Amino acid sequence: MSNLIHLNTDTTSLVIKAEKSLPEILYWGKRLPEDTGLDTFFEANHHPVPQARIDTGTVVSLCPEHARGLFTAPGLEGCRHGDDWTPEFSLSETTMDGHRVRFLCHDPRAALQLVINLGLNPGTDVLETSLTLTNQGDSGYQLRKLTNTLLLPTHAREIMYFHGRWTHEFQTERKKLDRSGFILENRRGRTSHEHFPGIMIGQPNFSETSGKVYGFHLGWSGNHRFHAEAMSDGRRYLQAGELLMPGEVELAPGASYSTPTLYSTYSNKGLNGISQNFHRHVRREIVRFPEPGKVRPVHLNTWEGIYFDHDPEYIVQMVRSAAEIGVERFIIDDGWFRGRNDDKAALGDWYLDEQKYPRGLQPIIDCVKDHGMEFGLWFEPEMISPDSDLYRAHPEWMLHTDGYDQVTIRNQYVLNLQIPEAFDYVLGRLDSMLSEYDIRYIKWDMNRELVQPTHNHRAAFHGQVQAYYRLVDEVRKRHPLVEIETCSGGGGRVDYEVLKRTQRFWASDCNDALERQTIQRGASYFFPLEITGAHIGAKLCHTTGRQHNADFRGITALFGHMGVELDPARASEEEKRGFAKYIALHKSLRHLLHTGNYFRCDTAHKESQAWGVVSQDQSEAVLMFAQLAMPEYAMSATVLIPGLDPQKQYKVQVLENSSSDIYMKRCPPWMVEPATMSGALLEQVGLMMPVLQPESAMLIHLEEI
């Protein structure tokens, strides 16, 4: 068999057949030895043709075609006013550049060109794919769907997907992948809390530490569709792309449409392998810090501390208290601009409220800088309140459909960034604020979904997302040293495309440490800790009404890009000591947390969970063990710690424990005095855990001796 493309990393191989028709994945999994007679192997093994089916057999290519008798979801759907709806492509040219391959394909009858781009990153094991369709005809082509398709092996039989809502992001659920298929659709116009564009598919019962698993993530901050299916012949595939509305994309002669990039990775070491590959990819290929190598500064965000109640003199007191507890970046959240006294007005009027700030922002910024901190400010640039000067001047800038009433969500509308004047206005306001003041950080929020977005008489989800990217890009071009956080009512807009332009995401508006344990665990499948915003909130959590001590809140917020979100000026001395302790601890551990390999442990009891980080050289690790709910059993279980060096001896000691030991007459001895254990024992035999109080956690440090 000729024309086999064989891409390798240290651990993964991808074999693609590229002959006359669209390319097809023959193998994707654990690295194959080279020169093992691949050609003859695949010749002999592939494509038996069952009875009562297409006589020549069918191929699930990187863009499946109905035209070839494949009765599954096609990779491309569209038409030219009814015609050219079932294209059939042939491969014209294959070009390789290192680990990247470009397949150029044509259908002369339908006058369409399709380019399939694919790259297996040798340093991260992540496969990037995207497709571009170009209309080579002389009339418009109405595109309904263009999506990435990857054929999976038959042992990929179980799905883990993510769901959520405001204050409850990144929840996981499992499902069998069978003939009924699996569809995940997002129509909310942002990445969404509800349908995070990521999915894991693997061997039944794959776990954190074992099993063959494939991980997928679509880098797109708008509508999307994931479709996985076990076909009637037993083959399995995953499709992921943008979900287009009717008429949303019409390609004029010569015009192109490209899919968002699908990021995929394989591991035979369970979910930890997947997330470590994804984290490496985010670190090396996605996130760009304005000042690489700079430590991630600890935040104070004013939101839950003062909400809309901005008094500059009081804020200065907060700044001083923040500095005392060790904060390094002070961010004024919502409420600083003209007329913004609650969430019912003023979005769009991005001018400092001079009634609240009669002396401007400068005295506060000076105070922040005098205390050795950076200053950050909140914006929600894509929005417009019906009660705003901007709306009164330009009601036509609202993103809507003529002839229908637009709903409000959180009392606000969306600004149509596809109108050049609206785009320029908001860019101008951001530019002016960032030029006038020394603002080093933007919290860029987006607090509502798109409903009936129409522009130029067409559905305009796609256009709005593209315009948003352009807006952030332009802001960054003009202010390259400003760091940007992506926030959308918490974790409603985080994906690899937005992370190419931002350096942090706000994982959730829920600062309840117990909820955060699950939310941060869910986010950890795709995102490394240094970009995951995690704050210590007030003792009485504002979104759940639960109370936790500073230790449980501190241990939980430690595993991320840490901050506090409360009013330190009003906090008790005891609380403040707690914040200071965890901020100091975070600073002493962030070299490890923000560069090491993150792992989750498989815990035997569902009421507890454990995660940790091992340094790249395996000389140091930190482990968190959390008791989420009342222990079912009188004794806890051992936790196996993956990723240490089996040959090395480690000193194991407790750093912090938020639980009182009321459940234990005798604790495991390593809790009383540091113990020495080998990496092999810790991984294979594990560490016997104590029984902790529900809603508490413990922090353990491991250091090579």
Q: Which is nearer to ligand GLA, 444 or 670 (CB)?
A: 444
- 487 is an interface residue for ligand GLA by CB under 6 A: yes
Q: Please state the closest distance from residue 447 (CB atom) to ligand GLA, in A.
A: 5
Point out the catalytic residue in the list 125, 334, 349, 509. 509
Helix (H, G, I), strand (E, B) or coil at 499: helix
CA 235 to chain centre: 29
What is the residue whose two structure tokens read 């750093």? 655
Site for ligand GLA in 427-446 (CB under 6 A): 445
Q: Please state the closest distance from residue 40 (CB atom) to ligand GLA, in A.
A: 58
Sheet with 24-30: list strands edge to edge: 4-8, 12-17, 24-30
Q: Which is nearer to ligand GLA, 87 or 489 (CB)?
A: 489
Each residue 267-286 as x (binds ligand GLA by CB under 6 A) or -, in order, gives --------------------
- 169 is an interface residue for ligand GLA by CB under 6 A: no
Each residue 376-415 as x (binds ligand GLA by CB under 6 A) or -, in order, gives --x-------------------------------------
Q: Which is nearer to ligand GLA, 29 or 297 (CB)?
A: 297
Q: Which is nearer to ligand GLA, 28 or 337 (CB)?
A: 337
Q: Which is nearer to ligand GLA, 455 or 493 (CB)?
A: 493
Q: Please state the closest distance from residue 442 (CB atom) to ligand GLA, in A.
A: 12
Q: Please state the closest distance from residue 342 (CB atom) to ligand GLA, in A.
A: 10
Region from 25-33, 265-273, 483-491, 520-528 binding ligand GLA, contact rule CB under 6 A: 483-491
Choose, by CB under 6 A, the member of 75, 489, 563, 690 that binds ligand GLA: 489
Q: CA 626, CA 45: separation in Å to the nearest integer? A: 48
Helix (H, G, I), strand (E, B) or coil at 222: coil
Q: Please state the closest distance from residue 662 (CB atom) to ligand GLA, in A.
A: 36
Q: Which is nearer to ligand GLA, 448 or 586 (CB)?
A: 448
Q: How far is CA 324 from CA 152, 371, 377, 576, in A?
A: 54, 9, 21, 9
Q: Which is nearer to ligand GLA, 448 or 479 (CB)?
A: 448
Choose, by CB under 6 A, the member of 272, 447, 517, 609 that binds ligand GLA: 447
CB-CB contact of 133 with 256 (8 Å): yes
Residue 139 tokens, joined: 């009339």
Q: Please state the closest distance from residue 334 (CB atom) to ligand GLA, in A.
A: 3
Under rule CB under 6 A, how many of the chain's residues touch ligand GLA? 12
Q: Which is nearer to ligand GLA, 447 or 608 (CB)?
A: 447
- 303 is an interface residue for ligand GLA by CB under 6 A: yes
- 506 is an interface residue for ligand GLA by CB under 6 A: yes
Of residues 488, 404, 403, the one with CA closest to residue 449:
488
Q: What residues contact residue 532 under an 8 Å CB cut-off, 6+ apart?
A: 504, 505, 507, 520, 523, 524, 559, 560, 561
Region from 391-399, 482-490, 541-549, 681-689 binding ligand GLA, contact rule CB under 6 A: 482-490
Point out the catalytic residue in the list 125, 445, 495, 567. 445
- 603 is an interface residue for ligand GLA by CB under 6 A: no
Q: Please state the closest distance from residue 166 (CB atom) to ligand GLA, in A.
A: 8
Region from 79-87, 112-120, 275-283, 486-494 binding ligand GLA, contact rule CB under 6 A: 486-494
Site for ligand GLA in 342-381 (CB under 6 A): 343, 378
Q: Please state the closest distance from residue 378 (CB atom) to ligand GLA, in A.
A: 6
Helix (H, G, I), strand (E, B) or coil at 208: coil
Q: Please state the closest distance from residue 382 (CB atom) to ligand GLA, in A.
A: 13
CB-CB contact of 612 with 621 (8 Å): yes
CB-CB contact of 365 with 433 (8 Å): no
Helix (H, G, I), strand (E, B) or coil at 272: helix
Region from 60-68, 147-155, 487-495, 633-641 binding ligand GLA, contact rule CB under 6 A: 487-495
β 158-165/249-251 pair status: unpaired
Q: CA 657, CA 671: separation in Å to the nearest integer? A: 10
Q: By beta-carbon distance, which residue lies closest to ligand GLA? A: 334
Q: CA 269, CA 606: separation in Å to the nearest integer? A: 21
β 249-251/483-486 pair status: unpaired
- 186 is an interface residue for ligand GLA by CB under 6 A: no
Residue 699 tokens, joined: 């922090």
Choose, by CB under 6 A, the member of 490, 522, 528, 612 that binds ligand GLA: 490
- 64 is an interface residue for ligand GLA by CB under 6 A: no
β 638-639/687-688 pair status: antiparallel
Q: Which is nearer to ligand GLA, 216 or 444 (CB)?
A: 444
What is the residue whose two structure tokens read 């809507």? 400
Q: Phi and psi for 114 in degrees, rounded to 5? A: -125, 130
Whether 509 is catalytic is yes
Residue 247 tokens, joined: 């008429």
Q: CA 519, CA 397: separation in Å to the nearest integer? A: 36
Q: Please state the closest distance from residue 149 (CB atom) to ligand GLA, in A.
A: 35
Contacts 24+ apart (CB under 8 A), 318-323: 318/567, 318/568, 318/569, 319/364, 319/367, 319/368, 319/371, 319/373, 320/367, 320/371, 320/569, 321/568, 321/569, 321/571, 321/576, 322/371, 322/373, 322/564, 322/568, 323/371, 323/372, 323/373
Q: Which is nearer to ligand GLA, 73 or 346 (CB)?
A: 346
Helix (H, G, I), strand (E, B) or coil at 304: helix
Phi-psi region of 662 (alpha: psi -120 to 50; beta: other; left: phi over 0): alpha
Q: Please state the closest distance from residue 508 (CB atom) to ligand GLA, in A.
A: 8
End-to-end CA distance of the chain: 54
10 Å CB burial of residue 358 (0-12, 13-18, 19+) is: exposed
Whether 55 is catalytic is no
Q: Please state the closest distance from residue 138 (CB atom) to ligand GLA, in A.
A: 48
Each residue 310-339 as x (binds ligand GLA by CB under 6 A) or -, in order, gives -----------------------xx-----
Q: Which is nearer to ligand GLA, 490 or 631 (CB)?
A: 490
Q: Which is nearer to ligand GLA, 487 or 628 (CB)?
A: 487
Q: Which active-site residues does the annotation give?
A: 445, 509
Binding-site ranges for ligand GLA (CB under 6 A) = 303, 333-334, 343, 378, 445, 447, 487, 489-490, 506, 509
